[in-house]
A and B are shown apart, each in its own frame.
Chain A
Amino acid sequence: MIASADQVCSNRVVLVCGHYGTGKTEFAVNYALALAHAGHTAMLADVDIVNPYFRSRERKELLESAGVRVICSSQACTDADVPALPAEILTILENREVRGVLDVGGDPVGARVLARFQPKIVQEDYNLLFVLNANRPEVRTVESALLYLRSIEAVTGLTCGGIVNNTHLCGETTPHEILKGAELAEAVSKEAGIPVVCHVAEQRFTGEESLAELNLFPIDIYMKKPWEL
């Protein structure tokens, strides 16, 4: 099954959280693009203040040409590691005509930025999505993944409403990896009582028979390394 952006999550504001390096930014960029393609007024806010490289603001031009407005640090230079949050984030939280995606930094430490907006977020139709990658050693068991999930909820004062299985191995991903991640995501889901909203897969896997049972959200890779450009 192929899931549309609305089928993955129909909430007005989507907060993309998770452990470092699980692929939050790749998912956030693809999800925002899918919202725009579906005709929504989409906005993506890069609120990652803990990671200095591979941030969604690096793809601002591509996103904006596809109709996604990008909000990032008020600092002119996108490459600085200045922990400055853009005031424009409020546009997403206050304009109810907008479908907003917040690309949040990794771990509880990265998610802490949301706490400052918590009183506003809880008044909105929001969903905090927990991105999970079973190949990341710190979240490969149900217990450790749950610990991260609950810690992110604790520092943000928000409730997680969905799990995104984004299990991959960069260019070496196979359907086996996605299935392995699906198993972990379902186990975490069962334990936490939070639904798995989708299984992320590169476009090349959409016809894959072994994945036919999964609710797939197909993505393109935008956060490329210099030798992949």
Chain B
Amino acid sequence: MEKELWKGNEAIAEAAIRGGCDCFFGYPITPQSEVPEYLSLHMPQHGKVFVQAESEVAAINMVYGAAGSGMRAMTSSSSPGVSLKQEGITYLAGAELPAVIVNCMRGGPGLGTIQPAQGDYFQATRGGGNGDYRTLVLAPSNIQEAVDFVQEAFDIADQYRNPVLVLADGLIGQMMEPIEWHEIPKRTLPAKDWAATGLHGRGHHNVINSLYMDPDECDDFNAHLAKKYQTIKENEVRYDTKDTEDAELLITAYGTPARIVLTALEQLRAAGIKAGLFRPITLWPFPEKALHDLAGESHIKAILDVEMSIDGQMIDDVRLSVEGQKPISYLGHAGGVIPTVEEMVEAGKKALKEAE
């Protein structure tokens, strides 16, 4: 198929349609407004539902209702808007409802800025809502991955009956890139026999909620969730590496910064420094073992974590994975400032020097 030129947000929206999204509920916010804008035009053309909700809170609760009736439902927003959705996300997880949530992160905290940032890593991987729940988090580093992941997210959500978060940033949403539309891997999906779609001759009602009157029952339910999360950890970990085979300097980064690291690697190699990239694609489950094993290789002397966050958030998972085997240093900016190639090269050199 010929390549086409797409803007990230429009591509994410089109990917939702191709991924079988039945209903989209959202509210505009820069830098992701083109997602609802595109879907407001195209969902009705496909006989699907688009609703601009009165708020982000309303949108995520509409997702809950649609998902509860077995529909493939999605919402999208940017950082402050995703904060508003957190209650809805824990309710989705608590009711074991599949749903897709896209976050094109911008500067924070609070209203912050409209430029790209990665300050929502903790929120995405630890959960901004209450309770012992997890959402699978896919972090695209380019528009091709964004469209592939959004399509797959619907299947993953259905397979595990769990919300799936696609964590992009404003740059991925706003930039233009050539992409190809191709088939995504097929999964065997369970029937939605739990959906509240009427009795259909059954002897019992399907009830969608997350309320338990008996603490033992709630304990059992949490154990059931924990088992499900363990299965996700075993099946769904994804990461990518570049030039790590002989690397002395290992850079860890995801999303847009990982893209910039690729240029930094070229410059570091040209300067005689063997540098490589480890890029987590699933932020939860985090590729702990792969990073642990790579950090244990004798050729790795130092690790540099780069994020669009002031002191780093993913760096906690990097530390937990590396387990002190190698020194870890950090480079980052917040508020919409993007780390530059030059800064990465300098920080990489410094990290290696300090490790000696």
User: Interface on A for B, CB 8 Å cutoff?
Assistant: 20-21, 51-54, 79-81, 133, 135-137, 140, 168-170, 172, 225-229
Contact = CB atoms under 8 A, between A and B. Distances in A.
Interface string B1-22: 0011111001000100000000
A52 B31 contact: yes
B174 A54 contact: yes
Contact of B170 (A53, A170, A228): A53
B178 A170 contact: yes
B232 interface: no
A24 to B, nearest CB: 11
B7 A20 contact: yes
A160 to B, nearest CB: 22
B178 A172 contact: yes
B114 A52 contact: yes
A140 B2 CA distance: 12
B259 A227 contact: yes
B119 interface: no
A226 B5 contact: no
A136 B174 CA distance: 15
Contact of B5 (A53, A81, A133, A225): A133
B307 to A, nearest CB: 14
Contacts of A168: 5
The bracket for how many chain B residues form the interface is: 20 to 34
Q: Is chain B's interface secondary structure helix, strand, loop, or mixed overall?
A: mixed
Interface of B: 3-7, 10, 14, 30-31, 34, 113-115, 170-171, 174-178, 256, 259-260, 262-263, 336, 338, 340-341
B340 to A, nearest CB: 7
Contacts of B170: 52-53
A226 B256 CA distance: 9
A4 to B, nearest CB: 27
A227 B263 contact: yes
B5 A229 contact: no
Contacts of B7: 20-21
Nearest to A167: B5
A133 B31 CA distance: 23
B260 A226 contact: yes
B168 to A, nearest CB: 13
A21 B114 contact: no
A106 to B, nearest CB: 9
Contacts of B171: 53, 225-226
A136 B5 CA distance: 5
Given A52-B30, A53-B31, A170 B176 contact: yes
